[in-house]
Chain A
Amino acid sequence: MAGRGGAARPNGPASGNKICQFKLVLLGESAVGKSSLVLRFVKGQFHEYQESTIGAAFLTQTVCLDDTTVKFEIWDTAGQERYHSLAPMYYRGAQAAIVVYDITNTDTFARAKNWVKELQRQASPNIVIALAGNKADLASKRAVEFQEIHLPLLVLPALVQPVSIEAQAYADDNSLLFMETSAKTAMNVNEIFMAIAKKLPKNEPQNAAGAPGRNRGVDLQENNPASRSQCCSN
């Protein structure tokens, strides 16, 4: 079931003169919704039964931000533990990362914190990191149940509610962007990518090692100073 999302698709390339290309990587425990977020952002679709990503997948999406066209080269990594060791191959040279957890599962939040730590330790020093609490659609459901039932135990709220409070505090402490998202309802999906686009430096030389896209060698970029100077001239 590939329902078209309600949220507006990001704008296509505009006539703006600045074009910036950014490498963005998604990290997080398996089944938290990394691929779904990307699918929603890139194609405006949502699949209820999204297949597990093997290794990694690559997609691109272009958004417009004022007079700048931002092209995201998105690396959607596999969350399964056996692929964990491959992650550095994808986050090396990335200018942005979205670390995703599932707000109905505290374990995934703990895992997300580990990803953040790893990025802070090993990724580019000025990488923009966003924390996404995905499956926000489920949170609202459970919150309603919780109020109606007046469950005396703190089990459910401990699973659901504190995460967002704690996550916000954690994001603040670590200077991360933070949003609760839902790939299913499209809530905050474009917003989190746009927030990243805004925060990314548009006038600094892009990391030469990380910037080249697929099929593109270092040489190509150096042969193309014109487009780069548009990004760096100001």
Chain B
Amino acid sequence: MMTIKAFSLVSAVERELLMGDKDRINIECVECCGKNLYVGTNDCFIYHFLLEEKTSPTGTAAFTATKQLHRHLGFKKPVNELRAASALNRLLVLCDNSITLVNMMNLEPIPTGARIKGAVTFALNENPVSGDPFCVEVCIISVKRRTIQMFMVYEDRVQIVKEVSTPEQPFAVAVDGHFLCLALTTQYIILNYNTGVSQDLFPYCSEEKRPIVKRIGRQEFLLAGPGGLGMFATVAGISQRAPVHWSENVIGAAVCFPYVIALDDEFITVHSMLDQQQKQTLPFKEGHILQDFEGRVIVATSKGVYILVPLPLERQIQDLLASRRVEEALVLAKGVRRNIPKEKFQVMYRRILQQAGFIQFAQLQFLEAKELFRSGQLDVRELISLYPFLLPTSSSFTRSHPPLHEYADLNQLTQGDQEKMAKCKRFLMSYLNEVRSTEVANGYKEDIDTALLKLYAEADHDSLLDLLVTENFCLLTDSAAWLEKHKKYFALGLLYHYNNQDAAALQLWVNIVNGDIHDSTRSDLYEYVVDFLTYCLDQELVWKYADWVLQRSEEVGVQVFTKRPVDEQQRNSFNPDDVINCLKKYPKALVRYLEHLVIDRRLQKEEYHTHLALLYLEEVLQQRPSANGKGAEVTGTQAKLRSLLQKSNFYRVHFLIDKIQGTGLHMESAILHGKLEEHEKALRILVQELKDFSAAEDYCLWSSEGRGDPYRQRLFHTLLAIYLRAEPADCELAVPAVDLLNHHAAEFDAAQVLQLLPDTWSVQLLCPFLTGAMRHSIHTKRMTQVALGLAKSENLIYKYDKMTLKGSSVQLSDKKLCQVCQNPFCEPVFVRYPNGGLVHTHCAASRHTNPNSPSRGNRT
């Protein structure tokens, strides 16, 4: 059985002090009240001692008893029981079935001689009902069969209050308020002496075995039960604590919270009321008295008196913790809560929880440890400090004293076991990660985050980067050194960045990309740097690394200029001219940038448009010699050029026409001419130089986009004219002319066309055109006829309306009154509303609405 040292047994009164060498003298009873210790003997003496407690330097208590005096009571009977009533300065002495009162100090009997006669045994009511502080309530078991009597005992008189008879002979009694707890011949009962109501508790044969009835607190008693049980019972007859298990022959019991102490022939046993377990056993032979007096437990043999000194609870708890009995220590700590001032308890309990947490931690019981750390509100740094090098060097933390555990560090705790060490580290990682955002972290955020960073870096944990890119309190110098040590350069860059040292961060990353230092965290680090610069607000840094990123890749590198966040663009922090200047060495990048300016940002500055067109043109021309052999295949750049030339209205057309002259880029020059509204010239190029008739048709279509039908018709007629005006020899143009007419019949004015067409052309040839034109013409004619008919009938309807309105005559006389002003008409001019109401012209003008004629304006 796991034991604990809860009490130590010290001698209080040596036998020499009492009886010297007189063998026949035995101790019968003891009483202790404050420092006064009384002993009653079998030869009718009362001894009075003064108890002095001394604590030796080693912390163990010792007692010395100084004899004050002793007095013989004048009988030849033993002194059976002694009870002090300090409020009355009286000692109640039971001797020869009679309770007498003597002065507590000089042991003189009181002059009145007041006494209670016929008592077998008695008990004081420690929860008195009278409310009189100068009176004690005494309950006696009378010498009369089955009789209990209640007395009020004053300084110099006694008064019987109540006599109750019991169903069986009582053997022992304890009192609480109106409740008597009685051991009867065959059972224990609770009896309310005021109401007479009784409640059976449980059977017990008091004649066979000495009963124990002990009040242990408000309305609760401790009883000797069957099978050596120490049973608890309330006045309601309910057991609210589990029983403790004594030996079968217990003769006395006492309570010193949270312990129940029992005495038998050979031992004093100590049980906890909290978990019912036996906690301590002290060998003690021939003991026959065990009593507690206001927290002091006294045990006596017939020859000597001893005191059971409780060890301080904190010491007991520490002993339990020292033997790693966490559960018991916590139960004990919680159990004694009521006995310790609240603030003191909280401090103590928190510390116990923390200690318990470290015990569990050392056993790698992390779940339990975590819960204990949490409830114990552990300063996380206590835990971190177990791990070597995790706390920042700048941390002011020192471990609490006395220490919460016995370990210097993790190496000692795990005894170098790497696997255990790794487990501990994983635990700390998850624990810190959990607490870092809670109030536990308040005040130590730097220590926690720095430790976490170190753990992550060491373990090559993915969360390292997450930690660094979110809000954190990692200390720069400490973390930087650690990351460098573990070659986490990318992470180090993030750390610098978080600490607003972007220059340092970039330098590191550039070094990684260049291969000067090695860190494979990101394979796309170059792209990351580009992205970083793109969003970097520090222009100087962007300029500093612009060459570097462009040298590695013009297309990707230029993104630092082209993909900048929109809000920054609006502030226009980068001057495009500076950028263009910088990009001169990087033609591809320059094109991209100009495209960005012209197409994405739609800047309308002539230089950018012209520059871009020129760059396209140069590239096209560069590509041409090789591409020429394969014919006029349009390259990507050429398409871009054309698209730019077509869509932009900002470039210098003449400048480009000059550039393009003689290069054979007919399509482009056609577009340029078109821009100058020189459509004939443009179409001529397309038809005569390129002989690309469908391009010519397309030209007519896109050039006239958004310009209206007449404009388009004019273009088509121009094209047709070019076709027809060609040399007669050049009759190959007849075919496209016919196709043009046949495909775009609707774009032409047929009558005009017919006059232009050579007479030689057959109707057959122009059949689709003619049919189309005819259809169109007829359709127009019919549509017009319909419109005409509709207009005519509409006109008829209005005519009818007019006739109806004019049909009836209006009589105006001086008897008619204006409906508005109710005055007669004096002039022949009037206004008539469609409902027939007549008003003055000026009334109609001044009144917006006529009450009878809401449809104003419909005047006839």
Binding site for B on A (CB under 8 A): 54-58, 75, 80, 82-83, 85-86, 88-90, 92-93, 209-210, 212-218
- The 9 A-B residue pairs with the shortest CB-CB distance, nearest first, are A55-B243, A89-B239, A58-B242, A55-B229, A209-B236, A85-B203, A54-B245, A85-B202, A92-B238
A207–B226 Cα gap in the complex (Å)? 28
Once the chains bind, are B238 and A86 in contact (CB under 8 Å)?
no
CA distance A217 to B235 in the complex (A): 11
Q: Which of B200, B227, B238 contacts A82 (CB 8 A)?
A: B227
* Bound complex: CA A212 to CA B233 (Å): 13
A86 CB contacts on chain B under 8 angstroms:
202, 225-226, 229, 231, 239, 243
* Contact between B239 and A54, CB atoms less than 8 A apart: no
Q: In the assembly, what is the distance between CA of A187 and CA of B792, in Å?
A: 98
Q: Please measure, in the bound complex, the distance between the C-alpha atom of A82 and the C-alpha atom of B276, giving whole angstroms.
A: 19
Given contacts A55-B229, A83-B227, contact A216 B240 (CB under 8 A): yes
**B631 to nearest A CB, angstroms?**
79
Whether, in the assembled complex, B518 has its beta carbon less than 8 Å from a beta carbon of chain A, the answer is no
Q: Which B-chain residue is minimally distant from A90 (CB atoms)?
A: B239
**Extra inter-chain contacts (19) besides given A55-B225, A214-B240, CB under 8 Å:** A54-B227, A54-B229, A54-B245, A55-B243, A56-B243, A57-B242, A57-B276, A58-B242, A75-B242, A83-B227, A83-B229, A85-B226, A89-B237, A90-B238, A90-B239, A92-B236, A209-B236, A209-B238, A217-B219
Interface secondary structure of B, over-half rule: loop
**B424 → chain A, closest Cβ, in Å?**
24
Question: Nearest Cβ in chain B — how far from A51, in angstroms?
Answer: 12
CA distance A58 to B241 in the complex (A): 7
> Which residue of B226, B227, B237, B241 is within 8 Å of A214 (Cβ)?
B241
**Complex CA–CA separation, A90 to B229 (angstroms):** 14
Question: Are A88 and B218 touching (Cβ within 8 A)?
Answer: no
Q: Which of B805-841 contact A (CB under 8 A)?
A: none
Closest to B225 in A: A86
Q: Which residues of B contact A93 (CB under 8 A)?
A: 236, 238
A58 contacts which chain B residues (CB < 8 A)? 241-242
Q: A199 to B555, alpha carbons, bound, how many Å?
A: 76
B763 to chain A, nearest CB (A): 95
Contacts of A54 in B (CB 8 A): 227, 229, 243, 245
Interface check B201, CB cutoff 8 A: yes
Beta-carbon nearest neighbor of A91 in chain B: B238
B202 → chain A closest CB, angstroms: 5
A sample of 17 cross-chain residue pairs with beta-carbon separation below 8 angstroms, ordered by A number, consists of: A54-B229, A55-B225, A55-B229, A57-B242, A58-B242, A75-B242, A82-B226, A83-B227, A85-B202, A86-B202, A86-B226, A89-B201, A89-B238, A90-B238, A92-B236, A214-B241, A217-B219
CB neighbors of A among B256-307 (8 A): 276
CB distance from B182 to the nearest CB of A (A): 16
Query: Can you name the residue of chain B whose Cβ is closest to the Cβ of A216?
Result: B240
| Chain A residue at minimum C-beta to C-beta distance from B220 | A217
The answer on a CB contact under 8 Å between A88 and B202 is yes
B238 A215 Cβ-Cβ under 8 A: no
B 452-483 to A, binary, CB cutoff 8 A, 1 in contact else 0: 00000000000000000000000000000000
B229: which A residues are within 8 A, CB to CB? 54-55, 83, 86
What chain A residues lie within 8 Å of B203 (beta carbons)?
Answer: 85
**What distance in Å separates the Cβ of B511 from its nearest Cβ neighbour in chain A?**
53
Q: Are B242 and A56 in contact (CB under 8 A)?
A: yes
- A54-B245, A55-B245, A82-B227 known; A92 vs B237 contact (CB < 8 Å): yes
Q: Shortest distance in angstroms between B208's beta carbon and chain A's nearest beta carbon?
A: 14
CB distance from B778 to the nearest CB of A (A): 85
Q: In the complex, which of the residues A58, A89, A212 has the most CB atoms of chain B within 10 Å of its own CB atom?
A: A89
A175 to B241, CA, bound (A): 30
Rounded to whole angstroms, the CA-CA distance of A146 and B707 in the bound complex is 103
Contact residues in A for B231 (Cβ distance below 8 Å): 55, 86, 89
B223 and chain A: residue at smallest CB distance? A89
Complex: A210 Cα to B238 Cα, angstroms: 8
